[in-house]
Amino acid sequence: MHFVLPERHEVHKIRNSRPAVRRVSTVHVVLPGGVDDPALPSGGNAYDRRVCDGLAAAGWTVCEHPVLGSWPYPAAADLAGLADALAALPDGAVVLLDGLVAVAAPDVLAAGAPRLRLVVLAHMLFGDTDAGLRPGEARVLRGAAAVVTTSRWCRERAVEAYALPPALVHAAPPGVDPAPVSPGSPAGNRLLCVAALAPHKGHHLLLDALATLTELPWSCVFVGSPDRDPAYAARLRAHPVADRITFSGVRLGDELAAAYRAADLLVLPSRGESYGMVVTEALARGIPVLAHDVQGLPEALGTAPGGRLPGLLVPPGGPALATALRGWLTDPDLRDRLRHAARARRAGLTGWTRTADQVAAVLSRVEGSGPLAR
C-alpha cells in the first residue's frame, strides 16, 4: 500500500482502506516507561506509539503496560515490576514486548512463556553493540512465539546472529507521515542532522568532515536531545566548527517540521541504524539524504523509479563523508539530480497503517496457533 504525499484526502483513503473488523482481539503491549515522554523522543518510542494506535484503529483491544526501569540494564526492582506485570495477565494472552525491555529479562520471560503468547518487537539487536547482552537476547528471541523486526535488514541479521527459524521472524518497517515538499535553496547549503547527541550517531564525524569545508558557506542544525550523553554533547559544543552549528535540542511537531522545511540535505552519520526513520521523514519532504552505508540505512533510503538513489551512501570512516559533502555543496547538477530523485521517492513511501497491519498479521497468527504447551 503506497501513498502519494501531496494530497491529504488520499492519505485518509489509505488509512481507512482496511476491511471491516470481524472480531475483536486483545493484545497486551509491554512498553518501556516514559514511552510518551516528550523530553526523550526516539525512533523506538515513536514506532511503539504508532503501532499501538494503528492496532487500536484496526479494531484490536490494546492494553498498554509501561514498565519503569533502566532498560536494557535493569535493576532487580525493575525486573520484579516486569514479572508482576506479566503475572497479572490472563492465561493465553498475546503479549507484544518492546525489545528494549525483553532483551534484559530472559528469566522473567521464560517464567511467563508457558502460559503467555510472547512476541518480541526487536528495534535492534542489542547483542551487536554489547556482547554482554547476547546470551540473554538469544534466549529471549529463541523462546518467543514470534519476533517482529523494524527492518528487513534487522530480520536477516537476527536470523543469522541467533540461528532463528526464518518463519519465526517478521519484518514490519516503519511508516512515515505525508508532508509538503521542502522548497530547498539554490545553494543547497542548509544542512540538518536529526539524532540524539550520542557517540553512535556520529555527530563528531560530521563535525570533522565539515571542518575540512570551512571555506564554503554552509550552515548546519543539530536537532536532538543533549541529555543522552552530556559529556559527548559538551565535546561537540567545543569542536572548532561548533560556532557554525545550531544546537536546537529536542524538536517535535511543528517545530520539527519547520526544521525539515528549512533544510536542503539531511545528514545522518550514524555508525549503525536498524532502519533510520529520519531518513524517510526527510524523503517524505523531498529532501535528499547523505548517510553511511551501514546496516538498515540503505533500506530506508531505497530508490526512486529507475533505480535512482535519492541521496548519497558513503562508507564510514576516512574522507568519504567530507568528499560527499563537498560534492553536494559545489555541484549544482548533483543537487538537482538528487532532489528530483528524492521527490520521486516520495510516491513509494508507505504509511503507518501498513506497519500496524504487518504487526497485526503476526499477532493474529500467534493468537490462532493452538493451545500452549504446558
Query: Domains of the chain: which residue ranges?
Result: 8-175+351-367, 190-348
| Three-state secondary structure readout of 174-209 | CCCCCCCCCCCCCCCCEEEEECCCCHHHCHHHHHHH
Q: CB of 4 within 8 A of CB of 346?
A: yes
Question: Phi and psi of 316, rounded to 5°?
Answer: -70, 150
Q: CB of 149 within 8 A of CB of 44?
A: no
Q: What is the model's pLDDT at position 41?
A: 82
* Terminal CA-CA length for the chain: 40
What is the C-alpha to C-alpha distance for residues 255 and 249, in angstroms, rounded to an integer? 11
pLDDT by residue for the chain (374 residues), tens only, comes to 333 333 322 222 223 334 444 356 999 999 999 888 887 788 999 999 999 999 999 999 999 999 999 999 999 999 999 999 999 999 999 999 999 999 999 999 999 999 999 999 999 999 999 999 999 999 999 999 999 999 999 999 999 999 999 999 999 999 999 999 999 999 999 999 999 999 999 999 999 999 999 999 999 999 999 999 999 999 999 999 999 999 999 999 999 999 999 999 999 999 999 999 999 999 999 999 999 999 999 999 999 999 999 999 999 988 999 999 999 999 999 999 999 999 999 999 999 999 999 999 999 999 987 666 54
Q: What is the model's pLDDT at position 34?
A: 85
> Alpha helices of the chain — where are they, by DSSP H?
8-15, 43-57, 76-87, 99-102, 106-112, 134-143, 152-162, 203-210, 230-237, 253-261, 277-283, 297-301, 320-330, 332-345, 352-367
Q: CB of 124 within 8 A of CB of 42?
A: no
Q: What is the model's pLDDT at position 36?
A: 87
What is the C-alpha to C-alpha distance for residues 144 and 287, in angstroms, rounded to an integer? 39
Type of residue numbered 21: V
Task: Reduce the DSSP state of residue 225 to 3 states and report it.
Answer: coil
Q: What is the model's pLDDT at position 88?
A: 97
Domain 8-175+351-367 has CATH 3.40.50.300: no
Q: CB of 69 within 8 A of CB of 78?
A: yes
Q: What is the model's pLDDT at position 1?
A: 35
Q: What is the model's pLDDT at position 369?
A: 79
Q: What is the model's pLDDT at position 373?
A: 55
Q: What is the model's pLDDT at position 59?
A: 96
Domain 190-348 has CATH 3.40.50.2000: yes
Quickly count helices (H) and strands (E) in the chain.
15, 12
What is the C-alpha to C-alpha distance for residues 168 and 266, in angstroms, rounded to an integer? 35
